[in-house]
Amino acid sequence: MTSSSPSGQGADYAATASEAYRAALRVIESVEPRVAEATRKELADQRGSLKLIASENYASPAVLLTMGTWFSDKYAEGTVGHRFYAACQNVDTVEALAAEHARELFGAPYAYAQPHSGIDANLVAYWAILATRIETPGLAELGAKHVNDLSEADWEKLRAKLGNQRLLGMSLDTGGHLTHGFRPNISGKMFHQRQYGTDPATGFIDYDAVAAAAREFKPLVLVAGYSAYPRRVNFAKMREIADEVGATLMVDMAHFAGLVAGKVFTGDEDPVPHAHITTTTTHKSLRGPRGGLVLATEEYAPAVDKGCPMVLGGPLSHVMAAKAVALAEARRPEFREYAQSVADNAQALADGFIKRDGSLVTGGTDNHLVLLDVTSFGLTGRQAESALLDSGIVTNRNAIPADPNGAWYTSGIRFGSPALTTRGFGADDFDRVAELVVEVLSNTQPAAGPNGPSKAKYTLADGTAERVRAAAAELLDANPLYPGLTL
Ligand SMILES: *Cc1c(COP(=O)(O)O)cnc(C)c1O
pLDDT band at residue 8 using 50, 70 and 90 as cut-offs? low
The C-alpha atoms of residue 324 and residue 332 are separated, in whole angstroms, by 13
Nearest CA to ligand 1 atom 10: 118
pLDDT computed for residue 381 by the predictor:
98
pLDDT computed for residue 6 by the predictor:
54
**Would the pLDDT of 215 be above 70?**
yes
Taking each continuous run of H as one helix and of E as one strand, the counts in the chain are 19, 17
pLDDT computed for residue 162 by the predictor:
80
pLDDT computed for residue 9 by the predictor:
67
How many Cα atoms within 13 Å fall on the side-chain side of residue 84? 10
- The CA 91 to ligand 1 mean position distance, Å, reads 25
Asked if 77 contacts 264 with a C-beta cutoff of 8 angstroms, the reply is no
Cβ count near 180 (within 10 Å): 28
Q: 223: part of which helix (H) or strand (E)?
A: strand 221-225
Nearest CA to ligand 1 atom 5: 118
The C-alpha atoms of residue 18 and residue 10 are separated, in whole angstroms, by 13
**Would the pLDDT of 271 be above 60?**
yes
Going by C-alpha positions, the residue among 284, 312, 299 that lies closest to residue 114 is 312
Q: Kindly state whether residues 233 and 379 are assigned to the same domain.
A: no
Asked if 4 contacts 343 with a C-beta cutoff of 8 angstroms, the reply is no
Q: Kindly state whether residues 395 and 320 are assigned to the same domain.
A: no
Residue 52 falls inside a structural domain: no
Tell me, yes or no, if 284 is annotated catalytic.
yes
Q: Kindly state whether residues 225 and 366 are assigned to the same domain.
A: no
Nearest CA to ligand 1 atom 15: 227
b/e map 238-269, b = 16+ CB within 10 Å: bbebbeebebbbbbbbbbbbbbbbbebbeebb
pLDDT computed for residue 194 by the predictor:
97
- List for the chain the helix, strand, coil content (%; round to 5): 50, 15, 35
Q: Kindly state whether residues 87 and 231 are assigned to the same domain.
A: yes
Per residue in 49-67, pLDDT (tens digit) is: 999 999 999 999 999 999 9
Residue 43 falls inside a structural domain: no
More confident residue, 136 or 66: 66
For 91, 190, 210, 318, the CA distances from 76, given in Å and listed in that order, are 7, 28, 41, 11
CATH of the domain at 446: 3.90.1150.10
Average pLDDT over residues 445-473: 93
Give the pTM: 0.96
Residue 340 falls inside a structural domain: yes
For the chain, how many structural domains are there in total? 2
pLDDT computed for residue 11 by the predictor:
78
Tell me, yes or no, if 252 is annotated catalytic.
yes
Q: Kindly state whether residues 140 and 229 are assigned to the same domain.
A: yes
pLDDT computed for residue 142 by the predictor:
87
Per residue in 140-180, pLDDT (tens digit) is: 888 888 988 999 998 888 888 887 799 999 999 999 999 99
pLDDT computed for residue 161 by the predictor:
82
Q: Using only C-alpha atoms, what is the Rg of the chain?
A: 24
pLDDT computed for residue 250 by the predictor:
98
> Which of 313, 330, 347 is a domain's end point?
330
pLDDT band at residue 3 using 50, 70 and 90 as cut-offs? very low
Q: Which atom of ligand 1 is nearest to the CA of 291?
A: 7
Q: Kindly state whether residues 165 and 306 are assigned to the same domain.
A: yes
- The CA 328 to ligand 1 mean position distance, Å, reads 22
Average pLDDT over residues 299-309: 96
Q: 422: part of which helix (H) or strand (E)?
A: helix 418-423
Q: Kindly state whether residues 257 and 216 are assigned to the same domain.
A: yes
Catalytic residue among 154, 252, 269, 270: 252
Q: Kindly state whether residues 182 and 202 are assigned to the same domain.
A: yes
The C-alpha atoms of residue 396 and residue 385 are separated, in whole angstroms, by 6
Q: Kindly state whether residues 324 and 181 are assigned to the same domain.
A: yes
Q: Kindly state whether residues 265 and 139 are assigned to the same domain.
A: yes
What is the DSSP annotation of 63-103? HHHHHSSGGGG----EETTEESSS--HHHHHHHHHHHHHHH
Q: Ligand 1 site: residues with CB under 6 angstroms? A: 55, 117-119, 177, 179, 225-227, 252, 254-255, 281, 292
Asked if 173 contacts 403 with a C-beta cutoff of 8 angstroms, the reply is yes
> Which of 315, 330, 345 is a domain's end point?
330
Mutation pick for ligand 1 pocket among 56, 114, 226, 281 (CB with most ligand atoms within 8 Å): 281
pLDDT computed for residue 53 by the predictor:
97
Residue 483 falls inside a structural domain: no
Q: Kindly state whether residues 308 and 365 are assigned to the same domain.
A: no
Residue 178 falls inside a structural domain: yes
The one-letter amino acid at 329: E
pLDDT computed for residue 141 by the predictor:
87
Backbone angles phi, psi at 192, to 5 degrees: -75, 120
Mutation pick for ligand 1 pocket among 53, 172, 174, 177 (CB with most ligand atoms within 8 Å): 177
- The CA 172 to ligand 1 mean position distance, Å, reads 12
> Which of 278, 302, 330 is a domain's end point?
330
**Would the pLDDT of 290 be above 60?**
yes
Asked if 98 contacts 327 with a C-beta cutoff of 8 angstroms, the reply is yes
**Would the pLDDT of 240 be above 70?**
yes
Nearest CA to ligand 1 atom 4: 118
pLDDT computed for residue 158 by the predictor:
85
Tell me, yes or no, if 21 is annotated catalytic.
no
CATH of the domain at 223: 3.40.640.10
For 53, 283, 482, the CA distances from 40, given in Å and listed in that order, are 21, 21, 13
Domain that holds residue 208: 72-330
The one-letter amino acid at 401: P
Catalytic residue among 74, 103, 194, 290: 290
pLDDT band at residue 139 using 50, 70 and 90 as cut-offs? confident
Residue 12 falls inside a structural domain: no
**Would the pLDDT of 1 be above 50?**
no
Q: Which atom of ligand 1 is nearest to the CA of 227?
A: 15
pLDDT band at residue 32 using 50, 70 and 90 as cut-offs? very high
What is the rounded average pLDDT for all residues in the chain? 95
Tell me, yes or no, if 290 is annotated catalytic.
yes
pLDDT band at residue 137 using 50, 70 and 90 as cut-offs? confident
Eight-class DSSP state of 137: P
Q: Kindly state whether residues 383 and 325 are assigned to the same domain.
A: no
Catalytic residue among 179, 281, 395, 422: 281
Residue 107 falls inside a structural domain: yes
**Would the pLDDT of 2 be above 80?**
no
Asked if 355 contacts 363 with a C-beta cutoff of 8 angstroms, the reply is no
Residue 123 falls inside a structural domain: yes
pLDDT band at residue 452 using 50, 70 and 90 as cut-offs? confident
Average pLDDT over residues 238-248: 98
Angle between the N-to-C axes of helices 207-217 and 235-245, in degrees from 0 to 180, rounded to the nearest 10:
20
The C-alpha atoms of residue 218 and residue 187 are separated, in whole angstroms, by 17
Percent of the chain with pLDDT over 70: 98
HEC per residue, 329-387? HHCCHHHHHHHHHHHHHHHHHHHHHHCCCCEEHHHCCCCCEEEEEHHHHCCCHHHHHHH
